[in-house]
Amino acid sequence: MSKISTWMWFETEAEDAARFYASVFRDAKLGAVEHASAGGEPYMKEGQVITAEVIIDGHQIVCLNGGPHPEAKPNDAMSLQILCEDQEEVDEYWAKLRANGGREIQCGWIKDKFGFGWQIVPEALPRLMRDPDPAVARRVTQAMMKMVKLDVAELERAARG
């Protein structure tokens, strides 16, 4: 397990979110689910879920039911990136994270049904953008900026000019 874990704040949907994320990823499993005890958190009833964790490819994400808090809403200041091997994997994660209310954004970004941002990136994108020829990187970047879901074949065409 990594020294760093990601915590995601929910009002009441922590367990649903952890189960959803566990269903999205190939190498994921639901971890510990902690419940409130009597006399615990003032905003929780005994037995309510406090946290639910999901382990994705060895990375721990803890979903926290923190109650309503105006500054704890998901926003674009933080996102999670999924580096995909190929277009098939991009398509798979795109469909799963878009399901049941997810929203497509731009440049490979999508918001899941809980409002959290994900970058679904084929490994070809960073590889092509690191090309020693700055013209290749420029063409790839310009092509990416016009996309919603990233298209590997189109990125590679742009790289070739």
Residue of 44 and 143 predicted with greater confidence: 143
- CA quadruple 97, 98, 102, 107: dihedral sign: positive
Q: What is the DSSP letter of 70?
A: G
Q: Pick from 19, 53, 69: which residue ends a domain?
A: 69
Counting residues of the chain whose pLDDT is more than 70, the rounded percentage is: 98
pLDDT at 42: 67
In whole angstroms, give the CA distance from residue 17 to residue 63: 7
Asked if the model's pLDDT at residue 40 lies above 80, the reply is no
Judge if 98 and 21 occupy the same domain. Answer: no
Residues 45-55 pLDDT 10s: 888 999 999 99
Judge if 103 and 159 occupy the same domain. Answer: yes
Question: Residue 41 — pLDDT band, cuts 50, 70, 90?
Answer: low
